Structure 1
Amino acid sequence: MSVNTVAHLNFHGQARAALEFYQSVFGGQITIATYADFGMPAGTPGATNVVFGQVVADNGFRVMAYDVPGPDAPVAAGAPTTRRENGTTTTAEPFFLSVRGDTVEEVGALWKLLAEDATVIEEFAGAQWTPGFGMLRDRFGVTWILDVAVDR
């Protein structure tokens, strides 16, 4: 038996834009099915929203997303609840998405793309445990950790 875990992100009208953005950062194939594709009458509010979406890339990146039924809502405004204080990370968020690569160059290139219009929590730089680590909240309100794998 083979099992894997894939992050499934919930949005309120931003799933298509988020999936397209993640595809532009990580590459891969995007799949999007709308509520209209599943039988909701065209012209109904929310019919063009995503009921199933994913990005799958050859480099191992995979994420799923959909738009929660109901009124579309903007991305949560304000500062992220995750922040660095006195050398530690404090947060009220239930999860972060983590992307780990083999080299500073590889992860740094992803960081640069993902950081567009993001709130940087911790700049991508060397840390005690890795030559590359950074944390940000992207334009869709998702908090990401990017780091370089180190053999221990």
Structure 2
Amino acid sequence: MSVDTVTHLNFRGAARAALTFYQSVFGGDVVMVTYKDAGNVQEPAEADQVMWGQVAAASGFRVMAYDVPAHLPWNQGENAFFVSLRGEAAEEVSAYWEKLSSGATVLQPLGPAQWAPLYGMLKDRFGVTWVVDVVSEYNAS
């Protein structure tokens, strides 16, 4: 038996654009179910918003997202969470960084760090903070 943890991002009307963007970065398949598709329209203006969505790539990348309906509280918050993207190959991680950084605010440029061959942090154009690094073996000495 195994369990997977998948980051689930909550938006207010930007889930479709965010999922489409992440699919353009990581590849894979994007699936979106709107409130209309699910027969759960409570506000006509929100009928085409995403009730459930996911990007799933062969590399193992997964992210889920939805649009919080207007009748529910939502606040993007300040540093409420980070999405950690870790890879074993510098070339692969650098390629993801390049794509994610389109329209982003770079908080820490991608480069060597004391604990990793490459490390960087950015806030993408949807307000999601990504911590990106190349996995290295931990050496306590």
The aligned counterpart of 1:14 is 14
Shift of 1:103: 1.6
**TM-score normalised by L of structure 2:** 0.89
Cα offset for 1:48? Answer: 0.2
How well do the aligned residues superpose, as a CA RMSD in angstroms?
1.9
Structure 1 CA distance for aligned equivalents of residues 116 and 92 of structure 2: 14
Does 46-55 or 99-108 show the bigger shift? 99-108
CA apart distance, 1:94: 2.6
Query: For 1:1-152, what aligned pairs fall within 5 Å after superposition?
Result: 1-40=1-40, 44-70=44-70, 92-152=78-138
The gaps in structure 2 that reach 5 residues or longer are none
CA deviation string 1:22-55 (max 9, x = no partner) = 00001110000000001146x9110000000000
Which 4+ runs in 1 deviate beyond 3 A? none
- Matched letter for residue 23 of structure 2: Q
1:45 match: secondary structure: helix
Q: Identity rate of aligned residues, in percent?
A: 55
1:130 positional shift: 1.1
Q: Output the CA distance in 2 between the equivalents of 1:2 and 1:103.
A: 25
User: Which residues of structure 1 form unaligned runs of 5+?
Assistant: 82-91
Give 1:104 shift. Answer: 1.4
- What number of residue pairs does the alignment pair up? 134
